[in-house]
Each structure stands twice: as structure tokens, then as C-alpha cells.
Amino acid sequence: MRKSQKTEQADRQRMIGLEDQRQTGARSIASGEGEKMSGTQFQALVLARNNLNLAYQRVVRNKGAAGVDGMTVDELKPYLKVHREELLAELANGTYKPAPVKQVSIPKPNGGTRKLGIPTVIDRLVQQAVAQVLSPIYEQIFANNSFGFRPQRSAHDAVQQVVQLDNAGDHYVVDLDLKAYFDTVNHDMLMKFLKQRISDRWILRLIRRFLTSGTMNGQLFERSEKGTPQGGPISPLLANIYLNEFDQELARRGHEFVRYADDCNIFVKSPRAGQRVLASVTRFLEHELKLTLNQEKTQVVATNRMKFLGFTLGHTKGRAFPYPVWSAKQRVKQALRRLTKRNRGVSEDQIMAEIRQKMRGWLQYYSLGRMKRFITELDAWLRSRIRQYIWKQWKKAKTRENNLSGLGFTKDEAKLSANTRKGYWRTAHSKTLCRTLTNKELERRGLINLSQTLQQIQSA
């Protein structure tokens, strides 16, 4: 499922008026009348009431943490009521100065941390307004094989394109891993690429200020000499504009590829061809785009060994199909293990709600792949974890006896089972709990049926 499709469709309806204003500029690119948008009045488009209103709605809906000034999205509307004209004047006369972004680190699924830059909500509003104007223009020139951070395109689309290329006979990939891409984008190169199509000094100056606004790491200010910190609304678009140069170069060379943000796979027909392509594109990335490949993770592999957006490929009767990589399955199982840890000390209802929230999103994303057997096994394991947790919550023998009686045991059966000396995990698999805390009973208590949910998603 396309995670952002509904949001994008709703936004498109609200952007009709804005799109009409930009139609002339967009057509000039699409029709090849001129590559440079020299006639476009970006200031008027960015500061248009409709555009700013839409930007406000997006920022509020996306929520997010406060920046260095501590202002939350809930405080944005009261602030704008008082300072709206002042903000517009600063933007119009070029005196607007973005605040430093607040730097935070979040853990990566495979270990390590990723740096995020959180702009203030005011800066997010302005960035969103700029992105809404530039995005339709650059959508006209972005490659069809680029899928990340683009409207009406999703990770599922990228994975399906991978399947199509494998089915077409390209059974090997050059799996490129850019080292800290978002942190190493060269500002001067990015501005050069922007100037190739945009001559409006006002918007170029505004983008440069966002790039060089700096970061606050705790109480320490750090200058921004390179990079487009992840976390701001405009960063994904700028990252795509930068790598579009790479996309166009691959297209000129006749390569088949799929790119999602900085995750790129180039499809070839043999390992030998893959090594030649790898050597060639490495030179282009490092010399022309000033980017660095992670040599440890960059490799040429068969498609059934590739890892792309959490998926790999299997084959049956000569046709490819996606399925979740082993690490994705292990991560979700570890997450469920943490949620159902028997000494957590939270209510049964809370655990059921947390599991539903976690697994609905996970199943929605990985529903594109084949995993019926894994989900069936995970279902059985999860039920045992829940039975173990409930048995631990009952604690005393008398409580267990009463609960077992309430679930259909006779008084003698309940008393005998309540005084068992078996461990928690062994008891979770015993006839005692399988007869009382049945699958149906667990679902009545709120446990999600993973197999049934997956089937519903895939048949929708």
C-alpha cells in the first residue's frame, strides 16, 4: 500500500489553484521549450495565500517535535495571528533568517544512529511552502526509476519495479550504498544544479540560507558546511534534485536502475558486467558529485541475495516475487518479544493495543511480499507469549484457580492446574492454557490475528 497516497490525493485537491498559477512554468519544462525557469516569479508563488495555507495544514498534520525555540505545532496558529505580516515582510524583503536546526540522533534498525535535524515550526512552514512550489516543477524532469519522497510513488512501487527488471532478465545488481549521503551533500554543487533551471535570486538565496542555518547539538552551535539534514520538509526534494544528476547519467549510459532516496540498485546481466558498472559509477559519484561510497556495503550480487527497502527476491517457475529479508523478520519478532516481556508490569489491554499498532503497520508495509508461512508461525509464537504474560499476571494460585474456572474448567481441574510447578513458558504451551485461553478467547481480549489481517490487506 502507498503509505502517503491518501495524503497526496487530498493535497492535490487543495492545490488546484496553486497548480494553475504554475502551469506555464511546468509546461515549459515538459515540452522542452526551455530548461531554465527564468520567467517564473517564485516569490509570488511561495507567498501566495493558498500555498501558505496548504503549507500550514501539512506542518500541523505532520506534527513533529519543537525546534530550538521550543515552539510546538499547536502554538503555530496563535503565533501567526500576531506575527503573520511581520513574517511575510521578512520573507519578501530578504531579511528572513532561518534558525539553526535542533540535532537529534535516532537508532537505525541495523545498529548505529542516524542524525536528524529538526527545524523550528516557522522554518518548517516556510520550507513546506517552498517545496510545494518547486516539487511540481522538478517532477517534470525526475527519472521514472526514482521513487523516494515523490508524490504518488511509494516503496512498494520501487520493489515492484525491481521484480519487473528481474523478470526481464537482469538477475544481478550493483547495490550502491552512499556513505552518510544526507550529511555530505555539497552545497555549492546543489546550488549549481538548482541554478541550471532556476534563475530567481530570491528563492535561491532562501534555499542557501536553509542549507547554511547551522545546527544546535545540545548547547553547541555547529556551522552547516555541507549536507541537507533529514527532518526538514525541503530536504527530501533537495536530495532528489542532487541525485537526479546521477539518474540522468545512468539513463544516458543506458542502465536499468531503481532508486529510492539514497538507496540505488543498478541491474545488469552478469557479475562481470556489474563490476565494470561499479567501477564506472564510482568515479562519477566521487568526482562529479563529491559523494563517497561505503565500500563495505557496496557490492555486486544476484537478485536473490539483494536487500532493497526490506525486501529480497525469490523465484518460482522462472518468475520473481518479493519477500521480507531475514533481518526484517527478526526485528519484528524482537519488537514483539519486548512488548510481551512478562515482567513489564503493564495492563493486558495496553499490551494488546501496542501489538495491534505495531503489527498493522508492519503487515501493511510487508504485505507486498510472500510470507504466509512466517506469519502463521509468528501467530502461534505470539499467542504463546500472551498466554505466558497472562499467566504471570494472575500470580497467586487462588487467582489462577478462579480465572480458570471462569474459562470453563471444573473446580477440581482449576485447582490442580493452578498449583502447577511448571515454568511460565512451558505452561503457556500446556493443555491448561490452550483449552482456556483459546485463540478465539485471545482475539476477544484484543489480540490481533496476524494471518487474518494479512489476508485482508492482500485481498483489499
For the stretch 117-144, pLDDT in tens is: 899 999 999 999 999 999 999 999 999 9
Checking DSSP bridges between strand 215-217 and strand 101-107, what pairing results, if any? parallel
CA–CA separation, 67 and 209 (whole Å): 17
256 phi, psi to nearest 5 deg:
-95, 130
Q: Are 46 and 129 in contact (CB under 8 A)?
A: yes
The Cα–Cα gap between 265 and 57 comes to 35
Query: How large is the average pLDDT for residues 298-309?
Result: 96
Nearest of 48, 52, 77, 61 to residue 10 by alpha carbon: 61
- Which one, of 446, 454, 415, lies nearest residue 432 by Cα? 415
Q: Mean pLDDT throughout 44-58?
A: 96
Q: How far apart are CA 117 and CA 185, in angstroms?
A: 14
Indicate the range of 157-161, 223-227, 259-263, 298-302 predicted with least confidence: 223-227
- Cell numbers 518468475 correspond to 319
Task: State pLDDT tens for residues 179-221.
Answer: 989 999 999 999 999 999 999 999 999 999 999 999 888 888 8
Residue 277 CA to residue 445 CA, distance in Å, equals 56
pLDDT (0 to 100) of residue 458: 95
pLDDT at 251: 96
CA distance 134 to 298: 32
Find the mean pLDDT for residues 238-251.
96
Compute the mean pLDDT over every residue in the chain, rounded to the nearest whole number: 90
Q: How high is the pLDDT of residue 406?
A: 95
3-state secondary structure the chain: CCCCHHHHHHHHHHCHHHHHHHHHHHHHHHCCCCCCCCCCCHHHHHCCHHHHHHHHHHHHHHCCCCCCCCCCHHHHHHHHHHHHHHHHHHHHHCCCCCCCEEEEEEECCCCCEEEEEECCHHHHHHHHHHHHHHHHHHHCCCCCCECCCCCCCCHHHHHHHHHHHHHCCCCEEEEEEECCHHHHCEHHHHHHHHHCCCCCHHHHHHHHHHHCCCEEECCEEECCCECCCECECCHHHHHHHHHHHHHHHHHHCCCEEEEECCEEEEEECCHHHHHHHHHHHHHHHHHHCCCCECCCCCEEEEHHHCCECCEEEEEECCEEEEEECHHHHHHHHHHHHHHCCCCCCCCHHHHHHHHHHHHHHHHHHHCCCCCHHHHHHHHHHHHHHHHHHHHHHHCCHHHHHHHHHHCCCCHHHHHHHHCCCCCHHHHHCCHHHHHHCCHHHHHHCCCCCHHHHHHHHHHC
Confidence (pLDDT) at 113: 77
Residue 449 pLDDT class (50, 70, 90 cuts):
very high
Is residue 225 within 8 A of residue 63, CB to CB? The reply is no
Please state, in angstroms and rounded to a whole number, the distance separating the CA atoms of residues 45 and 40: 9
- The candidate with the shortest Cα–Cα distance to 385, out of 442, 325, 329, is 442
Instruction: Write down the pLDDT at residue 37.
Output: 60
Quick one: pLDDT at residue 202? 95
The yes-or-no verdict on residue 23 having pLDDT over 50 is: no
Residues in the chain: 460
Q: For helices 411-418 and 397-406, give the axis angle rounded to 10 degrees.
A: 140
Tell me the β-bridge partners of 311: 308, 324
- pLDDT at residue 390 greater than cutoff 70: yes
Of all residues in the chain, the percent with pLDDT exceeding 70 is: 91
Phi and psi dihedrals of 442, rounded to 5? -65, -40
Task: Give the least confident one: 212-221, 284-293, 325-334.
Answer: 212-221
Lowest-confidence segment of 200-209, 225-234, 356-365 by average pLDDT: 225-234
What is the structure's pLDDT at 114? 78
Specify the higher pLDDT residue, 254 or 116: 254
Mean pLDDT of 26-47: 59
The partner residues of 101 in beta bridges, in order of sequence, read 215
Q: Give the per-residue pLDDT at 15.
A: 40
Confidence of residue 27 (pLDDT cuts 50, 70, 90): very low
- Quote the CA–CA distance of 182 and 240 in Å, as a whole number: 10
pLDDT at 293: 94
Burial 45-66, CB ≥16 within 10 A → b, else e: bbbbebbbebbbebbbeeeeee
Q: What is the pLDDT of residue 374?
A: 98
The answer, yes or no, to whether residue 28 has pLDDT greater than 70, is no
Q: Would you place residue 2 in the very low, low, confident or very high pLDDT band (cuts 50, 70, 90)?
A: very low
CA distance 422 to 82: 67
Residue 17 has pLDDT above 70, yes or no: no
Asked if 174 contacts 265 with a C-beta cutoff of 8 angstroms, the reply is yes
Q: How confident is the model at residue 111 (pLDDT cuts 50, 70, 90)?
A: low
The pLDDT, as a whole number, for residue 332 is: 97
